[in-house]
Chain A
Amino acid sequence: MSEEQNIATIKKFVDVGLNQKSIDSILAEILNPAIALEAPGVPTAAGAAAGYQIFREAVFGWTDAFPDVQVDLASLIVNGESGSFDLPYHGTHTKEFAGVPPSNEVVYGAELWFVQFDGEGKFLNVRICEYGTPLRSAMIAAAAHGAHP
């Protein structure tokens, strides 16, 4: 696939999958069924997990706990079959997440994503890392004294 198509896939994932909370409508279109996900808290010993369902649950768990979450693409760079984006976000913490009870406060966070595409332009390997204040710490701080960007 071309770089332009891979960029379009990332934008679609962010716009439709995250901001519109409609990940199920685009799963088959954007994810390779054997997708591997590496992210903090992914429940495997190695911190890496494979498969559609784990990716879906990771996204769902987050958007379910922060139903009004909005993300921005602070930067997006794709070279060939690899791409990366910087994803600041904010949303109201309304359900328990990562063991932290809801505060109903707006929480701010940011993630770096690195995606490797398969030959059909679908996500094959995804690595996600938080930067700045970790989400769990931000949730606890928001519950204690309100959120600050």
Chain B
Amino acid sequence: MPTPEEAKNVIRRLFGELLSDNHVELIDEMYAEDYEFDAPALTAGAPVLTGREAFKARVAAFRHAFPDAKYTVQDIVSDGRIVCTRMGFGGTHAAPFAGFAPTGRNSLVTGIHYALLNEEGKIKKTWAGFTNIAEALAPNPPAEG
């Protein structure tokens, strides 16, 4: 099993090199073959994706919708098996995503991401949620005040 610091570095690499710098090919190196992705849901019936290829397609769809997306690791804790990340991403909503029409706005979305690593330090399962994704994707910007 990885040490807590090794596990944190896997997730720092996920948000940096893989997602922010768009090196999707790292999915084959960093993810277990039986990877399970419990995607954040905006409505009932949260999608659960299985396998690297399904995740690559999800990342590509997200990158298409937010072509300049950059992720930030704000805080991170781990016991070596699970990594919990206080994170955020910013990007321009330029194309449809999850049924939401593009707003053209650049939004900062904050959330919490959990990753379960296997004995080899590969990402076996992830689940996550956001504090303000609905506001970010809504057609009208949130009211001030």
Interface, chain A (partner B; CB < 8 A): 38-40, 42, 45, 47-48, 75, 77-79, 82-84, 86, 111-114, 116, 127-134, 137-138, 140-141
Bound: A101/B68 CA distance, A: 40
Q: In whole angstroms, what is the CA distance A79 to B78 when docked?
A: 7
Residues of B within 8 A of A129 (CB): 111-112, 128-131
CA gap between A83 and B75 in the complex, in Å: 9
Query: Would A114 and B112 count as touching, CB distance under 8 A?
Result: yes
B residues with CB within 8 A of A: 4, 38, 40-46, 75-79, 82, 84, 86, 110-112, 114, 127-132, 134-135, 142-145
**Do residues A47 and B135 form an inter-chain contact, with CB atoms below 8 A?**
yes
Report the bound CA distance from A33 to B142 in whole Å: 28
Q: Would you give the shortest CB distance from A49 to chain B, in whole angstroms?
A: 11
Say whether B78 contacts A112, CB under 8 Å: no
Contacts A77-B78, A112-B114; A131 near B127 (Cβ below 8 A): yes
Q: Collect the chain B residues with CB atoms within 8 Å of residue A137's CB.
A: 41, 43-44
Residues of A within 8 A of B135 (CB): 47
Q: Nearest chain-B residue to A42 (Cβ)?
A: B131
Question: Residues of B contacting A111 with CB < 8 Å?
Answer: 129
Chain B, residue nearest A114 (CB): B86
Pair B84/A40 contact, Cβ less than 8 Å: no
Considering the chains assembled together, what is the distance between the CA atoms of A60 and B44 in angstroms? 25
Q: A128-B131, A133-B41 are in contact. Are A77 and B112 (CB under 8 A)?
A: no
A127-B131, A130-B129, A131-B128 known; A84+B112 contact, CB < 8 A: yes
CA distance A82 to B76 in the complex (A): 8
Across the two chains, which residue of chain B brings its CB closest to A39?
Answer: B131
Given contacts A40-B131, A112-B128, contact A134 B43 (CB under 8 A): yes
